[in-house]
Amino acid sequence: MPLTTRAKSFGRVGVGAPLAVANQTVGILGGSFNPPHDGHVQITGIALRRLHLDQLWWVVTPGNPLKSNGGLPPLPDRISACEKLMINPRVTITGFEARLGTPYTAATLGYLRRRFPGVHFVWIMGADNLATFHRWQRWREIASEVPIAVVDRPGWRLKAVASPAARALAAAYIPESQAANLARMDAPVWTLLSGPLSPLSSTALRAAKS
């Protein structure tokens, strides 16, 4: 069953997603952002430039279903921290996913595709996430519904390209020289973007404070 069908129960306008208009290209960078850091900013800059995006949304999630969320700061606090760090008129910070009542990316993207049928969405994730993408709920459906841009992360490139998901989606890979066209391509399609590598990670930053 396609994601757009599963998302019908979420309604059309009550969730409070940011605004987008038909034919725009919009990147989605989801995460707990606990805390947000310059690595997120760097990924955002690479995606905006290389994918030729009109907008990019930081979707601050209620929690990660693959991780323990004990001690996770309240959503408004994490949104506020993101807003202080990421100042760019083409970037929107949003927590609308909390109102969907589900933490799963598949449902979030299904809602967005139904709410904005004329918008070209791209899912953006770090290479560390591609390495574990096969553990995500309905990951194959995610890949079949929206283009995916994977941004290189320190120490993760080889693990990412050797991952079960990358191997399964090998036929859908395009070279990064074609990244500017990715948003308007039919899924499944994905690429791996190179660029300056930030050593920062939310996990390391939390550990340094403990």
* DSSP three-state, residue 70: coil
Distance CA(92)–CA(71), nearest Å, equals: 25
pLDDT of residue 68: 57
Tens digits of pLDDT across the chain (210 residues): 333 333 333 444 467 899 999 999 999 999 999 999 999 999 999 999 999 999 999 999 987 776 655 679 999 999 999 999 999 999 999 999 999 988 789 999 999 999 999 999 999 999 999 999 999 999 999 999 999 999 999 999 999 999 999 999 999 999 999 999 999 999 999 999 998 766 656 555 535 565
Phi, psi of 169 (to 5 degrees): -105, 20
> Which residue is listed with tokens 């760019």?
88
Radius of gyration for the chain, computed over Cα atoms and rounded to the nearest angstrom? 16
Q: Is residue 35 within 8 Å of 205, Cβ to Cβ? A: yes
Question: What is the rounded CA–CA span in Å between residue 199 and residue 17?
Answer: 31
Report the pLDDT value the prediction gives residue 72, as an integer from 0 to 100.
92
**Residues β-bridged to residue 148:** 123, 190
pLDDT at res. 63 = 79
Name residue, tokens 């598949």: 106
Is residue 94 left, alpha or beta, with left meaning phi > 0 and alpha meaning psi from -120 to 50? beta
Look up the pTM and report it.
0.86
Pick the closest to residue 56 from 27, 31, 16, 19 (CA basis).
27
Q: Give the separation between CA 10 and CA 15, rounded to whole angstroms.
A: 8
Q: Is the dihedral of CA 156, 159, 161, 167 positive or negative?
A: negative
Closest of 3, 4, 67, 6 to residue 31, by C-alpha: 67
